Structure 1
């Protein structure tokens, strides 16, 4: 399979600045919500892994490292459910992220939401859900257009 970009990131930004700006604005709203940036970056990393987005995995690994997220949490996030190093809050957010990304139905989605309610306020749940929707949108753009990861940056 070719990994040649279908459209380069900078070309997408040039062609669709309003779309780019809308997604960036949503990310800024989440950042301003008071949710822990370390948590949201861990969530973005896991969702990007699920979606197979090399561009976003690379980017969010870099951001998480700069924020000081422990390396073990970054290394094990793909298997977070089987690793006891995540806080109940992180586990609830990751479960909700996976449920929404994989469109879990019925009991699984309900269980994830109940766990979320134990750890997050209603306002936080709204912004976590927005963060999940936002990274899924970025992943679909990046994967669909085959944005190349920016290495060494």
Structure 2
């Protein structure tokens, strides 16, 4: 079945998609109010999208990460964060939380992850990160189910 034959959830039920977009916007506002840095936010959203295999959302959040000041080296190391030295303690904790939320069916949020993350982030920050992760995991599922194509990059003019 080609992409053209797939049900496109955002077009087929725009009211539901707009509700999801509203959740995402609210999660972003919570993150900003909690003091979650744009760099940290995009790192987490990229990683969850990578883990889910959502190339569409990875593209969107890589573009936003670049706009937030992340360089190519840092973005490239997100997938291998455990072995990388470029991430702060906060970023590493958030990446660990992203993995637990993305693979929540395997073990929930394990106590050791919850305790570790809770020792680094305030409750408000934890809540904000959690809603960001709920939102991106939902968007990943919509995009993957619909096989949303990754938009091509425009060639720079020479």
TM-score greater than 0.5 by the shorter chain: yes
Aligned to 2:65: 64
Contact 1:45 1:60 in 2 (8 A): yes
CA distance in 1, matches of 2:23, 2:139: 11
Please give the TM-score of this superposition, normalised by the length of structure 1. Answer: 0.87
Corresponding residue pairs, total: 149
Greater relative contact order (Cα 8 A, min sep 6): structure 1 or 2?
Answer: 1
CA distance in 1, matches of 2:113, 2:71: 24
Contact 2:27 2:132 in 1 (8 A): yes
* Structure 1 residue ranges, 4+ long, deviating more than 6 angstroms after superposition: none
Deviation at 1:91, TM superposition (A): 0.5
Structure 1 pair 76–128 and aligned structure 2 pair: CA distance change class (3 A): same
Aligned to 1:109: 110
Unpaired stretches in structure 1, ≥5 consecutive residues: none
Deviation at 1:5, TM superposition (A): 4.9
Unpaired stretches in structure 2, ≥5 consecutive residues: none
Please give the TM-score of this superposition, normalised by the length of structure 2. Answer: 0.85
- 1:98 partnered with 2:99: yes
